[in-house]
A and B are shown apart, each in its own frame.
Chain A
Amino acid sequence: MATATDSRRPASKGEKVADWADGRLGIYGLAKANMRKIFPDHWSFMLGEICLYSFIIIILTGVYLTLFFKPSMAELVYDGSYGPMNGIHMTEAYASTLDISFDVRGGLLVRQIHHWAALIFIAAMAVHMMRVFFTGAFRKPREINWLFGFLLLVLGCIAGFTGYSLPDDLLSGTGVRFMQGAIMGMPLVGTYLAMFLYGGEFPGDDVIPRFFSIHVLLVPGIMLGLLVAHLILVFYHKHTQFAGPGRTNKNVVGMPLLPVYMAKAGGFFFLVFGVITVIAGAVTINPIWVLGPYRPDQVSTGAQPDWYMGWTEGMIRMMPGWEWVIPTGHTINFGVFIPLMVVGVIPIAIALYPFFESWLTGDKREHHIADRPRNVPTRTAFGVAWLSWVFMCMIGGGNDLWATHLHLSINSITWFVRIGFFVVPPIVFWITRRICLGLQRRDRDKVLHGRESGIIKRLPHGEFIEVHEPLAQEEMHTLTAHEQYRPLEAGPKVDENGVVRKQGVVERVRTKLSKNYFGDAGQIPKPTAEEYREVTSGHGHH
C-alpha cells in the first residue's frame, strides 16, 4: 500500500506516461478534483445516463449509415435485390435505404439500432426531464442546465424528424408534405419560407439533401456542444441527492467515480447498447420497403409520425378548420396557424417553469436536496397537468388508431380531445394536488404516530387497537427534512402614515399564487418537534 505514494521508488511505466501527459495537459489537477468525485445513488439518476448512451449509439450508427446512404432526390428505376420494388420509380435516397436494408450485411441492423436508439433517446430525455422537474432539481444553481436539457430535447425532436424524413418513403414523405403545408399556413411569409426551404415547389429536388445536412451536421453539432456543457455543469454543480441521514445541502453522499461509477456507468453504456441491439434485431420498425417510395398523390392509412411528434400531430388534427379571408384579401389559415403557435407555447410553459418558481418563492439559495414530489404539491400538480395536456394532444395525434382499435367514432374522439385539451389539465391538476396532500398527511401521521404494525391489541375494557411502531430516527429525519415555504403576506392596505399602499398587479398575483402554493390548501404543515413531543408524552393514544 505504502509503495504507491513512496517518492523514492522509481516511477512505473504507467506513471511515466501520466507524467508526460500532465506536463502537457495538466491532467493531475483535473484528476485530483474528479477521479474520486462522489456521485449519489438513486435509480432515477440513471435516466440521464440512458440519454447520454443512446446519443452516443446514435452517433456511432449514424456515421456508419452515412457510408451507404445517398441523400439525393435524383430519380431512378429500381433494379436490385428487393424483388417487389423492381421497375418502380424512386429517388436515390429511397433506393440507397433499400440497399442498406437488403444488400449491406448488417446494414439493416445498424439502421434499426439507429432508429430504435433515437426513439429511446427522446423517451429517456422526456423521462429524465420529468425526474428533474418533479424533484425540483432545476432550482438554483441548475436553471441553466435545465434550459440546456430542454434545448437538447427540442433539438432531439428536430433531429428525429429530419432523420426519419430522409429515406423518402411514402410515410416520411407525407410528414415532409405536412411540414410544407404547415409552413405555407404562416401569414405573410409562409409561401416564401416554403419555397426557400424546399428549393421551389413541393417536393422539388432539394429537401432531402438539405434535411440531410441539418440531420447529420447542424443539429447534432449543436447537440454535442450542449451535451458537453450539460455534463460539465453536472460535474461542476455536483449531483443532487435525496434527503436522508447524513445527507445535507452542504454535502454529497455516495460512491466515488473511480472505481464504482466508472464501472457502473461504463457498464450501463453496454447494457443500454445491448438491449437496444437485441430490440433492433428482433423488432422491426419503419419497414420502408413495405411502404414504398414517396409520391405526392399517394398516401397510406394510419399515417403516424414517430411518437415524440405525436402531440404536434394531435394539435393539427384537433383544430377546427377555421380559415378567414381578411378584408385585405389575404387568407389566414387558423387551422394550421394556431396549432403552429401553440406548438411553441406548450414546451415553453415547462421550459420557463424554474424561473417562474424562483420568482414566486423569492428564494435565492442553492438547492441540492431533491424534493419528493408530494412535498411540493402545486408544482407536482402543474407538472402532471402539463403531461396530461401533452397526452391529450397525443390521443388527438393518434385519433385514427384509437378509432380503429377501439371501434369508436373518429369524430367523437376528436371532439373528446378538443374539449379535453381545455378541461382535462385542470382536473388532473386538482386530483394530483389532492393525492400529494394525502401523501403528505400520511407522512405526517407516520412521524407523529409511528407506522402501523399490523398487531391488534385488545384493551382491558374490550376495545381493539392497532399497535403503532415508532419510526427510526433516520426515517423521522428523512420525512421531516424538507423545507416548507410560508405564503407571502399581502401586507397592510395602508402604511404607517395612513397612506394607502399601492400594490401592483404583479405583486398581487404573486401573493395570490404564493398562497395557492404554500397556503393551507397547498401543503400540509410538517410535524413540529412540539407536536411530536405532545403526542409522544401524552398517553391519550388510541
Chain B
Amino acid sequence: MTEQTQAVENSSPSSGPSIIRIITGIFGHFLVKRFLFFLFVVWLASTVIFIIPRLSGQDPVKEKLLLEAQRGGAMQTGLDAMAKHYQKRFGLDQPIWIQYSNFLNDLAHLNLGVSIAFFPRTVNDIVFESLIWTLGLMGTVTLLAFVLGTLAGAILGWPRRPGWIQYVFMPLLTLAAIPQYLLAMILIFIFAFKLGWLPLFGGYAAGTLPELSFAFFIDVIKHAILPAFAILFSVVGFWAIGMRGMMINMQGEDYMIQADAKGLKGSRIFMRYAVRNALLPQVTGLALVLGTIVTGQVLVERVFSYPGIGDILFQAIRLSDFFVIRGIVIVIILGIAGATFLLDVLYPLLDPRIKVGKS
C-alpha cells in the first residue's frame, strides 16, 4: 500500500487525476478488496436470513405465541407484553423495505433481538454467554489440531521417515472419516461411562457456579478434555491427509533435488524446503473447512451438553425460539467470514510470492 501511494504521489503532481488514482488504488488494494468481500458476504448472508422467513409465509413469533397459548404453561403471563414488544420492535405493519433496513440497522449494531422462550433476555446475552465456551474449546482444539495434523502429514509424506511411523499414523488418519459426534459418543462410553475417569457431560460440575478459582479452572479443563479430543482426532486426520498429499507432490520439484544435491542435512531439507512450501495450501484449507469445523463442534457440544452455542442452538430448536436460532446462525457466519478475512490478510505474510498491493 505504501509503495503504491508513494508511486502515485511521485508520478502525478496535478491534484485532479491523482485523487481518482488514489481512490482506485485504495479500492484495487488487496486488503480493501478483501474487506469489501467480507462485508459483501455478511450482507448477502443477512439478506438470505431476512428473506427465508418471508418466503415460507409463516410468522415464527405468532407460531410460538400460539404454541405457548395452547400449552397454557407458565408463559401465559408474558404473552401480551411479548406481542406488543414485537409489534413495536419490528414494525411488522410497515413496508418490507423498512423492515429490511431496520433489520440491517440492528445487525450493524450487533443487536440480535430478544429471545421468545426466555422473554426479557436478549439474544445477545444468551449467545455471547455461551460463545465464550465455544470459542475457548474451539480455538484451542483447532490450533492444536492444525499443528499436530500438519506435522503428522509432513512426516507421513516424507520418503525418508522410519518405516514404523506409517503403522502408527495410518489408523489415526482413518479417524478423519468418522464424524466428530460419533467419536464423542465412543469417548463418552469408554472414558466417562466405563472407566469413569472423566465427567459424562456439561462444561463444569453440576451445582457449581462459574467463578474465578483454581478448583473451578481444573473442573473446566476436566470437562473439556473429552469434547476436545472428539474434535481433535477427526480434524487432525483432515490436516494430515492434506499435508501428506502436498509433501508427496513436493518430491519431484527441482528445488528439492537441488537441496539434496547441495548435500544439505535431511532435517533442513524437511523443514525449510518441503514443509515450508507445503504449508501454504494448508492455510488456505483452514479457511475452507472452518465452516465444517464449527458445525461439527456444534454437534459435539450437543452430545456433551457442553454449555456452548451448540447446546443453546439445540435448546432453541426444541423451544422453537426463532430469534435465538437466527442469532446463532448470524454469529457463526460472522465468525467464519471474519476468520477467513483474517487468514487472507495473513496469507501474504506467509507467502512472499504474493505481493500485497497488486490487484
**A and B bind:** no
